[in-house]
Amino acid sequence: METTDTREKVRHLTELVTTGRANEAYRTYYAPDVVMQENGETPRTSLQASIDRQDQATTGVTVNEFAPRSIVVDGSHAAIEWVIDITTPDGSHIHIEEFALQTWKDGKIVQERFYYDPSQSVPKPKNQ
């Protein structure tokens, strides 16, 4: 896939995600057998497993910010620097800055790996 095509798809994907339509982004841009991995965790090896994880992670949270800080596209590869700031149902706060590295094939993401400091995903009490 040409860099321009990938860039447009990544731009639209980030638009979907930042407007609360992550599941639509998954169904539109992720291959059925996509492999997704958080840091060094065991990879998820299907689209449905990734959607289920997303739903589990976001149920009941308030999204304060979910924005791409930078995007780099080169051929069939893309990197997105995400800033994620959420409040959990108990009022705790989580702020994560992560990189998502993607491999695209035939207009779909076939592999995505996330890199971030795991200590960022530990909720901070609402007074911090």
Neighbours of 46 (CB within 10 A): 15
The dotted CATH code for 3-116 is: 3.10.450.50
Tens of pLDDT along 7-47? 999 999 999 999 999 999 999 999 999 999 998 899 999 99
Name the band, by pLDDT with cuts 50, 70 and 90, for residue 124. confident
User: CB of 33 within 8 A of CB of 46?
Assistant: yes
Per the CB < 8 A criterion, the answer to whether 39 and 117 are in contact is no
The residue assigned the tokens 């149902």 is 89
Helices and strands in the chain, H and E counts:
3, 5
- As beta bridge partners, residue 103 has 77, 111
Domain spans of the chain, in order of start = 3-116
77, 102 Cβ separation under 8 angstroms: yes
At residue 127 the predicted structure's pLDDT band, cuts being 50, 70 and 90, is low
pLDDT reading at 128 higher than 60: no
Which contiguous run of DSSP H or E holds residue 98?
Answer: strand 93-105
pLDDT number for residue 102:
98
pTM above 0.75? yes
